[in-house]
Every structure is written in structure tokens, then in C-alpha cells.
Amino acid sequence: MKKLIECVPNFSEGNNMDIIKQITNEIESVEGVRLIDVDPGKATNRTVVTMVGTPDEVCEAAFRAVKKAAELIDMSKHSGAHPRFGATDVCPLVPVANITMEETVDYAHKLAKRIGEEAGVPVYCYESAARTPERKNLAVCRAGEYEAVKDRIGTEQWKPDFGPSAFTPAVAKSGVTAVGARNFLIAYNFNLNTTSTRRANAIAFDVRERGRTLREGNAATGKIVTDEKGNPVMTPGTLKATKAIGWFIEEFGVAQISMNMTDLTVTSIHKAFDEVCAKAQARGIRVTGSELVGVVPLQAMLDAGKHYLRMQERSTGIADREIIKIAVKSLGLDELYPFDADKKIIEYILEDKNQKKLVDLNLTQFVEETASESMAPGGGSISAYMGAMGAALGSMVANLSAHKPGWDERWEEFSDWAEKGKSYHSKLVHLVDEDTNAFNKIMDAIRLPKGTDAEKTARAEAMEEATKFATMVPFQTMELCLGCMDVCKAMAEIGNPNSITDAGVGALAARSGVLGAFMNVKINAADLQDKAWAAGIIAKGQAIVDKAVALENEIVAMVNAKI
């Protein structure tokens, strides 16, 4: 599971497309990073760029872009409607998948340090990356904008976190940059069956975190209530980490509530949708659908789909694409235009569509490729595929059991088993291609030069490392296949009796995956120089084989007794 982060740098140029293209070319020059969006604004004289990828690669792309912007943009001549204080005004990093905010902050600090030291651009760290509490707020860091940098940068209070602390000619040209770490921001709109902006605003005020101004008497026209400092007293809305307002969309002829969601861990997409629906209904209005602006993390869509499946008392142990369909239909994301998951979900956008993968072949193609003269797929890939099919059969029985008439009160029990089975077969499907990749690593090591003693040593070390990797891949297959058998056993014991043979076949397939993968463990381990490590992994593998064979006998006996 790759770690993914988003980076949304804002560059102080929105009119000269040649400059913008030179900057984005730097981003596109880094492998492992996908340029998602480039949004120039003429009035603001500012371009917002969105890129996504693995953390090290995103930071490299961000550094190159910041450095190029400092070379091309002269802040002493810049003007625009948006607050700004640098050629790269802000450069936030956002955790997307399989990475914590703490890790993202570490990357932000490393990026900020590099920008300061190598590009010579002063950097303030803000939001979650702030090194002092007062710098958490971007507006405080940027107070007075570019015009105030000259006087602020040399003070003890506003000395940059990284980079120069003097207003040199180079700094006068580049300005300063704010590097931060923040949560993923979702722009989410709700479509209403009304044309009234006022009614849409009322619902927005009901739900947004800030809420509405408290008034005496009439909620719309009464006197505003103030605190002891003379500030208006606010009645908070029901959804934390949200901002919202109502507006009318001329194109579609309906009013919408436009919401920014700043922390999905606090308020999820489905929680926001359900709450807006409830508040709208209380005012005699219906939410007819919704619209996600920009991109969204996969997990947010899966969480939404599973939420609505649970409301229907349906199993959540189904394919991700099917869960996403449930989310789209439940949230009405296809009301205004089709929702294309491959263009809206970050992880799907990042998939390399040109990469040839075995698991993308249909069954006939896979069999024919196996039978061909090519060495892939080989026994390791087939073992993983058998295990995946075994796990899929276990999930199938669990899903059928969850939906069996008369067993409604047990849907959650079987849903949990289906989820376990899905987890196993998803990981095993990945190992189908990973086994081939492991073989390729060995071949790459074999091709390394061996003309000098140093080259021979490096080649031998690469061979050993690649062989250990090629041994661990089938060992992982063994472990996962054994786990599959637990799902199949449970389904043979408590699952839908009409599908008991499916559970039995699943167990047979998973056991075959264990035994087949063990052959690959042994043959690869035999080439290792580290004999102690090789002996240890083979001993562990044999223990897994013994458990799998015993479990197979138990499951087969159980199935035969019930047929």
C-alpha cells in the first residue's frame, strides 16, 4: 500500500502561461508524481497547482517548482487581488493515503529546509507544520503581504524558520514561501429542489461549524446579540470542520449549498450528506443530489459506501468498485453529470494505465499467457491466484449468508467474515504480479557488471537482496492462504448450507496456494548465501504447510459430512 500525499502550491503568476508551463514542467519531470490540476486566475494573478504522488517524489517535484518560480517571478513587480508574499506563496502538503499527519509534517519540514538552504528562499512553516503556535495561522505569517517582508524578516519575532533572514536582492525578487501540512480539503456541493438562495443559506448556517449570528426575537431581523467585547455571539452549526454557504447555480437552475470540508476524520462525506438532508427536510426542502468538486481520496468513498450498505443491513465485504457505486447512488453524485471514479478518485488517477499487469488479463488471457513460452506467470503467481480464488469463494459464501432470507439478524456477523476474505484476496491478487516483479529483480541483479572486485561485491549483494525478496513474496502468499482457510472453515461451519461445497473448494484452493508457494520459498532460499536465514524461513514455511494440511482435512471432512 503506497503512501500518498497531495501538494497544492500557489504561484504568484496567473497571466503569463509560458511561466506557468515552465513551472509545471518541473513537476511533470519527476516520476511518481501526477499533475492533477492547474488553475490560473487572471484577477488574482495566481495559479493553484495540484499534484499527488509518493512523499519523496512529491517533495522533489515541489522543490523543483519552487526553485523555478523563484527564478522566473519577480515579486517586486507583482500585483494581484489575492494576498501573497512570495513567488511560491504557499506550499501545503496533505496526507492522502497510508500516511499520518505526523509523517506529513516531517516531510514538510524537510522540504522547507531544502527550499531555504538550496533555493535560498526564506520559509515560514504553518498549519500543522508550524514550529511555534503563532505561526500556525497562515494569515498571521503573511500579515502585511509582500510589502511587509522587508521590515519583518530581520526581526527576532519573524525570522524565517528556514533560509535567509535578510531582505537581500534575491529575497526581494523571490519573496518568501509558507510551507505547511494540513488535512485534505473537500469541496462538496448539495443540490436542492429549490431556487431560493435564502433557503439554501439557512440550511448552510444550520450545519456549518461557525453557525449563524444569534439575534434577539426574530432569527432573521432581530437585534444581534454581542459579548462583553462587542463581538457578535454565534450559534454553532452541527458539523465540525465545515464551512458552508448557499448560492444559485444558473447553469442547472437550482440552489446549492457549497461546503468546504477541512477534516474528513471529524466530518465525513456521508455524515455531511445525511445531516444536510435532515436539516433540509426540516425546512420542507429535499436534497436531490450532490457534487464533489475536484478529487477525493478512495477511503472517503469506501467509508461512504459502507455506511449506506450498513444502513441497508448489507455486507460490506464486496469489491471496492461495487462499494463506490453504492456511495455514488446514495449521495446522488451522478445527478448533474456522470461520476467517473477513474477521474475523481486520487488512487485511481495515479494508477499507471500503461503498465501491463497479469491481474488485468481476463481468465482466458491469463491461462493462455501461463501456457506460453514466457516465464511469467509462473508457479508463484499461480499459487497466489489460487489463494485469491479460495479467499473469494469464502467471501462469496459469507455474502450469500448475510443476504439469506431469515438470517437478517446475522448480516453483520457474515459481513465481518466477508471483509476478512476480501482483505485476503485483495492482498493475494497484488502478489500475483509481485511474484513476477521479484523474479525480475533477480534478473536485474544478474545483469549487473562484474568486471572489478567492487562490481562483483555489489552484484553479489544485489543478488542476495533480490533473492531474499523473491523468497519472502511466496512466504507472504503462504501466510495469506492459511488465513483464507480460516474464513472457509467458518463458512463451512456456520455459512449458508446451500453453499457449503463452495467453502470446501475455497479451502482446497487456498491449501494448494500454500503448498505451491512453499515450493517457491524452498527453491529461492536454496540460492541464498545466508544459510541461517534460509533455514529459518523454510522451517516457518513447513509449519504453515503442516497447519494448512491439517486444516484442509478438517474442512473437507466437515463438508463431506454435511453433503
Q: Is residue 435 annotated as part of the catalytic site, yes or no? A: yes
Contact (Cβ atoms closer than 8 angstroms) between residue 494 and residue 542: no
Residues contacting 76, CB < 8 A, separation 6+: 172, 173
Which one is catalytic: 206, 435, 486, 502? 435
If you write DSSP's letter for every residue of 67-131 in order, what string do you get?
HHHHHH--GGG---SS---BSEEEEEEEEEES--HHHHHHHHHHHHHHIIIII---EEEEETT-S
Q: How far apart are CA 407 and CA 229, in angstroms?
A: 61
Containing 4, the helix (H) or strand (E) segment is strand 4-7
Query: What stretch of H or E contains 235?
Result: strand 234-235
Residue whose C-alpha is closest to residue 6's, from 30, 26, 36: 36
Q: CA nearest 503: which of 516, 486, 517? A: 486
CA distances 159 to 60, 108, 523, Å, are 25, 18, 61
Cβ(193)–Cβ(286) below 8 Å:
yes
Catalytic residue among 56, 82, 106, 527: 82
Give the closest residue to 428 by CA, choosing from 354, 482, 361.
Answer: 482
| C-alpha to C-alpha distance for 388 and 380, rounded to whole angstroms | 12
Cell, residue 240: 465540525
Whole-number CA gyration radius for the chain: 29
CA gap 12, 23 in Å, rounded: 11
Of the CA atoms within 13 Å of residue 460, those in its CB half-sphere come to 9
Spatial CA neighbour of 510 closest among 559, 540, 552:
552
Q: Around Cβ 369, how many Cβ atoms within 10 Å?
A: 14
Residue 354 region by backbone torsions, left for phi larger than 0, else alpha for psi between -120 and 50, else beta: alpha
Three-state secondary structure call for residue 351: coil
Residue with cell 459481513: 415
Point out the residues that are catalytic.
82, 435
